[in-house]
Chain A
Amino acid sequence: MNKAKLMRWIRSLGVLLTVAFLSACGEEHLQSTINPVTDYGEVTHHLYVQVFWWTMIILVVVLSVLAYVLIRFRERPGQERPKPIHGHMGLEIAWTIAPAIIVVAIVIPTIQGVFAVQRPPEEGALVVEVTGKRYWWAFHYPELGVTTANELHLPVGRPVSLRLESGDVIHSFWVPQLGGKRDVNPVVAMPEGEEAKRNWMHFTIREEGVFWGQCAEFCGEAHSLMGIRVVAQNEGDFQRWVEDWRTPAPTANAPDSAADAAGQSAGGGGAGGGGVSGPGAGDQDAPMTTTTAEDPLVARGRQVFFRESYCVLCHSIQGTPAAGVIGPNLTRIGSRGTIAAGLLENTQENLVAWITDPNTVKPGAHMPGADYSVTFEGQTYPPLNLNDEQIRALAAYLSSMR
């Protein structure tokens, strides 16, 4: 290949890359690691910027010397074999010490960073117990008695501590804008008297928004579809969300039995993933539900949910008799942005598609389909045996719980 042609090639490649780079950088990156919104993410990012520039300096120096050498010391026609030089002690010492100094300059802030990202929790932090399961996330707020799935609501400006634990294999909790990932390990039984080891993440979110994340440790077939959404809200909105969760959705129970069902769950809700509703929940709820005119499709869906299928075996809905803990908690599922662990927008059509055939929507999912069974952790769950009409009603019922 001649040189001019080669240069043209290289130049057009350079242009292509520059265009690609600029266009990509102009776009919004929902899972960007270089746009942190917490103090925890900031530690990493500062360090990253610092090390980035060190490595750039070294790269430029090495590649410039290389380029210079390749051009300057090409063999000239008729050139004799050059004088053999076997080494130079001074140079060897110099290029041992110079990198050593840079290494020290990187190691010191790094170790400070290591301690900063694994610092002890702050007093009064909001604790959330995060449980990774194939292939979804459970979030339990022990102080608030709230349990939800896949969408993690967190307040802005308040310290948060996530306690990470796996229900099966190793996962990794990664919401890049919150900060670096932490492995979500299964809890290993410890000898008596020793505390079981769990990983924690401590941070304070600075700004409101919806932050995307996903499992970052390969965990099986649907690993790539095990998404996380973090909804960071101001304190007021967050409190409202908690209150909403504690109060059964107006359509959760049949209008006539609302008070009964809510009353039941106040006692039985503890089994539903630790959901402890306030004692007054039923009282607050009753006037709201009785006055609403009921959509017949929603009523039909409720019938399907509680009586014509076995949804309640795995799923809980706060304030209703549904108290299963195998699958995600469905309380106020209509208010979530997505279903199937961040995979689908939360619409009725998508709910229908998901309930009908979860294994096509999300290969590897452990939910039985309308007409097929699924084996999960040694247990076989029979087909839901639902027809289209039933599924549409079910979707309407779930969507109605906002």
Chain B
Amino acid sequence: MSVATETLRAPRVAHSAGDTGIWSWLTTVDHKRIGVMYFLTSFFFFFVGGVEALIIRIQLFRPENAFISPETYNQMFTMHGTTMVFLVAMPMAVAFFNYIVPLQIGARDVAFPRLNALSYWVYLFGGIFINSSFFFGSAPDTSWVGYANLTTATFEPGRHVEFWLIGLSIPGVRSIMGGVNFITTIVNLRAPGMKMMRMPLFSWMSLVTSFLLVTALPVVAVALILLAFDRFFGANFYEVTAGGDPILWQHLFWLFGHPEVYILILPSFGIISDVIPTFSRKPLFGYPVVVYAGILIGFIGWGVWSHHMFTVGLGPIADSFFVASTMIIAIPTGIKIFNWLATMWGGALRFPTPMLFAVGVVAVFTIGGLSGVMHASAPIDLQQHDSYFVVAHFHYVLVGGAILGLFSGLYFWFPKVTGRMMSEKIGKWHFWLTLIGFNLTFFPMHFSGLFGMPRRTWTYRAELNLETWNQLSTVGAFIFGFASLLLIWNLLRSARKGERAPANPWEAGTLEWSIPSPPHHYNFPELPEVRSREPLWEEGERREVEGATMKEPEEEPLMPSPSFWPFLVALGIASTWALVMTGIWWVPLLGLAFTAFGVFSWAFQPAFR
């Protein structure tokens, strides 16, 4: 392998055709730059949500503590959940879609580069909007699921709910646009010979996730729009006294909410399905089965939503159906885990940081999956639902499954993005401290839940004897927080002083490793012809592919020109929603007019100049 890579030097300029000023970032339509912006923004919100988590943990360190008021506490856990789901886990996965998918499938950019830029800016403005609520003293405080009828004006006067529903609607727009973009990209822009069944697993899972995005987000949009009608125009969809039914909210929310779980977890499954074979130095075991299992999870994920509602009282028939469908989903999930194990079996395992995180996902996600099997059994769920046991479960799945997987991807692809290696030493510290901190935070929560601690509670009584478990959790959370600071340090340090990365530092087999690190702004000087799933692992094919991907083109391929309109249109979309907060009916129309103006100007601006 080294023979091929040592002749390559990392180009000095990252990402683009030389422009590095702020204007070039505001107007960029390059999927790689947008990917980097997605990552940095979601990484920033990761720390915002993390600080909220630590404040929660300080409050729960002692029983009957009053470190913060219940009012503040309710805002903290609501914003922690909302931030981590909508502003961290989803967009961080999208950061990887953006940067990596076009490189993996052999495309020069995504199908709709400007739409891609628009998606990012809408996400950024949405994140800023919802967090601005803190400055108005109106941070959302009705939990990330925002159950009706607690969200009606009768019970929640003030602006908390309005900030929340608009703050979710704006990034929701982004998710749908992003989903459309990636479906189109993956279906239409694959390099010659890159058949669907030759695509790397990460691209596959990005495709499945994108389908879930475009189908699931509209459902929550409906729920939120109904709520908006209730709040702003005095409608009664969730107002019991007027004949509305609050259970409707739960059905709509979870009909979105469960596919959402797979939106969060499948990208991570995709990442580790690429990482594990690379460091086992062996192709993915049962590739088609892993692909089909992912698709199956995406499908069945639509038929399990009421397992979040076993305590609601839907009746034994409905409960039994959702028990069965939920249990069935354990089978394809198990298949994935077995195939990862089989991939490593008989391999020659190497353990750089990305592999450590990937193995961590397999171990930790298994625990989260199995506790999920427990409350998939509806009668057991009657005890565990809304207790800390469930809090333990979904953090094992979403932190242990999704976030650790994204970290694995971060360490894996960082050299490709920056042209520099991350520090292995800091990386290993980061991994072990994260693993210890994570387990110390969330494992004790199984016990606090079993011993009767409900979630979303500001405090707990000393007599309940839950103090020890909560203290372990708090200590763990701070270790986890400290470990995350190591990650920042590693990123900053490695981006500037890291060892130069060759094109294929990990000796991986997929297409993104056939181009220089960092890639040219046009990715591929010439589109390679692909003949297998790991074109770089077969000597003859590698030479052929690199003949196309490594050559210096006589003339640079024509790439779409930068445009400022996506930024302005995003500003228009976000401000239209934000101006709804004024409560004056014609004010949002100003934002809408601005958006329309932006869309027209965009449409008449040529893509190539």
Binding site for B on A (CB under 8 A): 1, 6, 9, 13, 17, 20-21, 23-24, 27-34, 43-44, 47-48, 51-52, 54-55, 58-59, 62-63, 65-66, 69-70, 73-76, 79-88, 91-92, 95-96, 99-100, 103, 106-107, 110-111, 113-118, 134, 168-170, 172, 174, 176, 179-183, 185-189, 197, 199, 212, 214-225, 227, 363-364, 377-378
Other contacts beyond A73-B345, A180-B381: 6, CB < 8 A: A47-B380, A86-B285, A113-B379, A117-B382, A181-B382, A224-B454
- Residue interface bits B381-392, CB-to-A below 8 A is 1, else 0: 111111100000
A240 nearest CB across to chain B (Å): 27
B62 interface contact, C-beta 8 A: no
Whether B341 pairs with A88 at a CB distance below 8 angstroms is no
B367 interface contact, C-beta 8 A: yes
Give the chain A neighbours of B69 by CB distance below 8 A: 363
Whether B316 pairs with A180 at a CB distance below 8 angstroms is no
Whether A51 pairs with B377 at a CB distance below 8 angstroms is yes
Whether B367 pairs with A59 at a CB distance below 8 angstroms is yes
B478 interface contact, C-beta 8 A: no
Complex Cα distance, B351 from A63, in Å, reads 18
| Minimum CB distance partner of B450 in chain A | A33
Give the chain A neighbours of B342 by CB distance below 8 A: 88, 91
Instruction: Tally the A-B contacts, defined by beta carbons under 8 Å.
Output: 296
Whether B456 pairs with A31 at a CB distance below 8 angstroms is no
Whether B379 pairs with A117 at a CB distance below 8 angstroms is yes
Whether A24 pairs with B468 at a CB distance below 8 angstroms is yes
Complex Cα distance, B326 from A51, in Å, reads 14
Whether A99 pairs with B330 at a CB distance below 8 angstroms is yes
6 tightest CB-CB pairs across the interface, nearest first? A180-B382, A31-B452, A224-B457, A75-B348, A113-B379, A55-B370
A365 nearest CB across to chain B (Å): 11
- Residue interface bits B134-171, CB-to-A below 8 A is 1, else 0: 00000000110001011000111000000000000000
Whether B149 pairs with A186 at a CB distance below 8 angstroms is yes
Give the chain A neighbours of B327 by CB distance below 8 A: 103, 106-107, 110
Q: 13 A-B pairs, CB-CB below 8 angstroms? A: A33-B451, A48-B374, A55-B373, A59-B370, A73-B345, A82-B281, A85-B346, A95-B335, A180-B382, A180-B383, A186-B246, A220-B74, A223-B456
Whether A51 pairs with B380 at a CB distance below 8 angstroms is yes
B399 interface contact, C-beta 8 A: no
B4 interface contact, C-beta 8 A: no
Whether B454 pairs with A103 at a CB distance below 8 angstroms is no
Give the chain A neighbours of B373 by CB distance below 8 A: 51, 54-55, 106
Whether B379 pairs with A86 at a CB distance below 8 angstroms is no
| Minimum CB distance partner of B443 in chain A | A17
Whether A99 pairs with B331 at a CB distance below 8 angstroms is yes
B247 interface contact, C-beta 8 A: yes
Whether A363 pairs with B70 at a CB distance below 8 angstroms is yes
Give the chain A neighbours of B289 by CB distance below 8 A: 87, 92
- Residue interface bits B490-524, CB-to-A below 8 A is 1, else 0: 00000000000000000000000000000000000
Q: Provided the pairs A84-B282, A114-B319, A118-B316 are in contact, do residues A13 and B436 lie with their beta carbons within 8 angstroms?
A: yes
Binding site for A on B (CB under 8 A): 69-71, 74, 142-143, 147, 149-150, 154-156, 240, 243-247, 280-283, 285-289, 311-313, 315-316, 319-320, 323-324, 327-328, 330-331, 334-335, 337-339, 341-342, 344-351, 359, 362-363, 366-367, 370-371, 373-374, 377-387, 428-429, 432, 436, 440, 443-444, 447, 449-461, 463-465, 468-469, 472, 537
| Minimum CB distance partner of A27 in chain B | B465
A198 nearest CB across to chain B (Å): 8
Whether B240 pairs with A33 at a CB distance below 8 angstroms is no
Whether A220 pairs with B150 at a CB distance below 8 angstroms is yes
Q: Which of B350, B447, B453 contacts A24 (CB 8 A)?
A: B447
Whether A24 pairs with B377 at a CB distance below 8 angstroms is no
Q: Which of B74, B331, B344 contacts A100 (CB 8 A)?
A: B331
A96 nearest CB across to chain B (Å): 6
Whether A180 pairs with B459 at a CB distance below 8 angstroms is no
Q: Provided the pairs A29-B452, A103-B328 are in contact, do residues A113 and B378 lie with their beta carbons within 8 angstroms?
A: yes
Give the chain A neighbours of B245 by CB distance below 8 A: 188
Whether B383 pairs with A48 at a CB distance below 8 angstroms is yes
Complex Cα distance, B323 from A169, in Å, reads 27
Give the chain A neighbours of B455 by CB distance below 8 A: 218
Complex Cα distance, B282 from A79, in Å, reads 13
A90 nearest CB across to chain B (Å): 11
| Minimum CB distance partner of B374 in chain A | A51
Give the chain A neighbours of B468 by CB distance below 8 A: 20, 23-24
Complex Cα distance, B168 from A341, in Å, reads 35
B161 nearest CB across to chain A (Å): 12
Give the chain A neighbours of B349 by CB distance below 8 A: 69-70, 73-75
Q: Which of A1, A63, A115, A218 contacts B147 (CB 8 A)?
A: A218
B226 nearest CB across to chain A (Å): 15
A70 nearest CB across to chain B (Å): 7
Give the chain A neighbours of B363 by CB distance below 8 A: 63, 66
| Minimum CB distance partner of B142 in chain A | A218
Complex Cα distance, B457 from A219, in Å, reads 10
Give the chain A neighbours of B281 by CB distance below 8 A: 75, 81-82
Whether A197 pairs with B313 at a CB distance below 8 angstroms is yes
